[in-house]
Structure 1
Amino acid sequence: MIALIQRVSEASVTVDGHITGAIGKGLLVLLGVEKGDDEAKAQKLRDKVLGYRVFSDEDGKMNLNVQQAGGSVLVVSQFTLAADTKKGMRPGFSSGAAPTEAERLYEYFVEQCKAKEIQTETGIFAADMQVALNNDGPVTFWLQV
């Protein structure tokens, strides 16, 4: 399971002209699900995402996680994170989870974030989404479990 996280001052997802999720300060989480991923990996990745210290403390050091900083998360499914880009000029997607399994684990990840009492917004699984963000820093990290 893969999460590309970006520290944002604001972010939103629009589908068919309607905003489906929006946050102010927090993390935009682009989530990729690979074959073999399961609930245990989703929980481990959730803990890593929510616990990752990417927000500045009073001394300007990245010592705070999203909850400590009073932020929210916007979780967007992104199957292209599981792409194999090692050969050729076209990505391969054979390592990605089947769509039904990817959707199930995406929804599970979102529910696990909500269970930690953090404001969690989402896109729509498998929709053509327009993601807008103001990356704060920029700060971007690739997390994988």
Structure 2
Amino acid sequence: MELNAWRYYINNDRVLLTWGFESYPRENDTISEVSFSFYDVAYNTLKWKFFTKERVSYNGEFNENFDISNFISNNPNYNTSVIPNKLFYVDISWKYNSQERHAYRWMLITGLYNPSYYGNSEYPTIKDYDSFLDCYYTLDDKNYIYSAKA
């Protein structure tokens, strides 16, 4: 099972996230509890954890549409009309036959990548965590750790 789709569109105070798996589980194998944990890179804190709805199959692409204020601020009076340029490290986790698995992506809260959502010659895809071939980041209890691939 592999995360093969990750793109997003920022529109005012909303995020349209399209994600997807290439998944061909064997008979009687189960996939469950797919969630996204949004970590604020500037403060090394978990800001929001989003659980997707359960599905019969996780093969394909799916859309989630949510309010940015869910993971930008803990303040209920936060003004979402001005979206800060925030960078989030997203831990995508799921259970495959009760064994927890993870994939990781970035989400930059800005309209910069909006043209990439639909794709065109100038912005064919969103450059993301998966695109950085020479490095990787891991998350220990509280810190993001940069490591160069050997």
For normalisation by structure 2, the TM-score amounts to 0.32
| Structure with more of its chain in strand, by fraction | 2
- Which has the larger Rg? 2
User: Highest relative contact order (Cα 8 Å, sep 6+), 1 or 2?
Assistant: 1
For normalisation by structure 1, the TM-score amounts to 0.32
